[in-house]
Structure 1
Amino acid sequence: MSLHSLNIALADDDQDDRTLFKEAIEEIKIKTKLSLFKDGKELMDYLTLPNVILPEIVFLDLNMPLKNGMQCLSEIRNHAKLKDLMVAIYSTSSSEEDIEETFVTGANIYINKPNSFAALKKAIDKVLQLNWQYHTSALNRDNFLLRI
């Protein structure tokens, strides 16, 4: 078991969703360090700090004020230092359009916000345990939308 903890960032403008996410992560057996951001601008300001330790995975809500998840995803993929970050879209939207657009823009996985705490825990656990090297090399529509 490595002592390394998984560095995770969540950008979500909903305080309740951030709290639930934090509680779910604390109950998962994987060692994590979670950074929470209340909007996309706050997240991007943090990620572009000169000596920041980048998260291994960024969970992005789509609908946020100041800078939405799509804008963040686009900036991340077009930024030399950030382009290889793992990005999980974490949204209440299940619209085909949103799923397609985030896939094409380069998100690694799409998660519909689960409607129960148990399902949320299961979803986060599943994402954190993915073999990301394999997942990114075999990126396709079938494994893009996380099904719980």
Structure 2
Amino acid sequence: MKLNNLIVFLAEDDEDDRWLFEQALADLKIKTELSMFKNGKEMMDYLKKGDTITPHIVFLDLNMPIKNGMECLKEMKEDENLKKIPVAIYSTSSSEKDIENTFISGANVYINKPNNFSALKKVVEKVLQLNWQYQTSNLNKENFLFRI
């Protein structure tokens, strides 16, 4: 691990979406280290190992097998060691109920998966450049949903 790199976790069951996300990160000027997980259980097991490097931000797909994004979000927010990690929900769902539930459960931003690569790069860069200390202290529904 390199110092000053932004450590990013992505829990996403769709292989194509993982690949696109990885390519978007690679194209950005922001130095990152990406760890990808095929489902929420994989990520949570890794995070709870104890000797794991804590990510700076977690991107969670809502609809995953075994353990979905909402279950991961709730588990993270109930864990003293994980609850301060910013969580970006990264989902195809634009359901108001999903958006509301993730907001109430403590997610920091909600991203509707963009339908093209340049929009994906733009939204990922915007999320990674946020000042999370400021963002979490001023969390409201107006700055929660990211649409590009």
Which interval holds the TM-score relative to the shorter structure?
over 0.9
Alignment of 1:24-43 (within 5 A): 24-43=24-43
- The aligned counterpart of 1:55 is 55
**CA separation in 2, counterparts of 1:70 and 1:147?**
20
Residue 22 of structure 1 aligns with which residue? 22
Q: For residues 65 and 109 of structure 2, what CA distance do their matches in structure 1 show? A: 22
TM-align CA RMSD: 0.6
Query: How is 1:76-95 mapped onto 2 (pairs within 5 angstroms)?
Result: 76-95=76-95
Q: Deviations over 1:46-70 (max 9, x none)?
A: 1111110010000000000000000
Structure 1 segments, 4+ long, off by >2 Å, are none
Shift of residue 147, structure 1, vs aligned partner: 2.4
Rounded Cα–Cα distance in structure 2 between residues aligned with 1:118 and 1:68 = 27
Partner in structure 2 of residue 127 of structure 1: 127
Percent sequence identity over aligned pairs? 64
Aligned residues: 146
Gaps of 5+ in 2: none
Give the corresponding residue for 2:114.
114
TM-score by length of 2: 0.97
How far apart in 1 are the matches of 2:110 and 2:33? Answer: 21
AA at the equivalent of 1:61: D
Q: For 2:146, what is the secondary structure of its paired residue? A: coil
Gaps (5+ residues) in structure 1?
A: none
Helix, strand or coil at the partner of 2:8: strand
